[in-house]
Amino acid sequence: MTVYRRQEDGSVVVATFASFASADLIRTTLAANGFRAVVRARSVVYPSIDAVEGADVSVAESDADAVLKLLRALQMPEDRVE
């Protein structure tokens, strides 16, 4: 499993997108498939620049493998920001 970053709340980032809208599309897709996901701006100091900094999609660590498998099966777009 590829996990980009663990969060303090125990969740893991499964995808990072250049725009909040792209990340929210993934969050909605995951919700429709029974997974709880959270979208967070990569910059918590200056959240108004999230379009520049990107947005992370996080899920519970216990769901991460299934979520990544689902996203690959659905061939969701990769819009990752490193």
In the prediction, which pLDDT does 3 show?
47
Structural domain range at position 53:
5-73
Is 78 domain-assigned?
no
Average pLDDT over residues 48-72: 81
- The CA distance from 46 to 52, in Å, is 11
Condensed to tens digits (0 to 9), the pLDDT of residues 7-54 reads 667 788 888 888 888 889 999 999 999 999 999 877 655 555 544 577
In the prediction, which pLDDT does 21 show?
86
Is 20 domain-assigned?
yes
Gyration radius of the chain over CA positions: 12
Tell me the pTM.
0.75
Per the structure, the count of domains in the chain is: 1
The most distant pair of C-alpha atoms in the chain lies apart, rounded to whole Å, by: 35
Beta bridge partners of residue 38, listed in sequence order: 58
Is 81 domain-assigned?
no
Is 12 domain-assigned?
yes
More confident residue, 46 or 2: 46
Q: Is the pLDDT of residue 76 over 90?
A: no
User: What are φ and ψ of residue 34, in 5° steps?
Assistant: 90, 10
CATH number at residue 64: 3.30.70
Is 53 domain-assigned?
yes
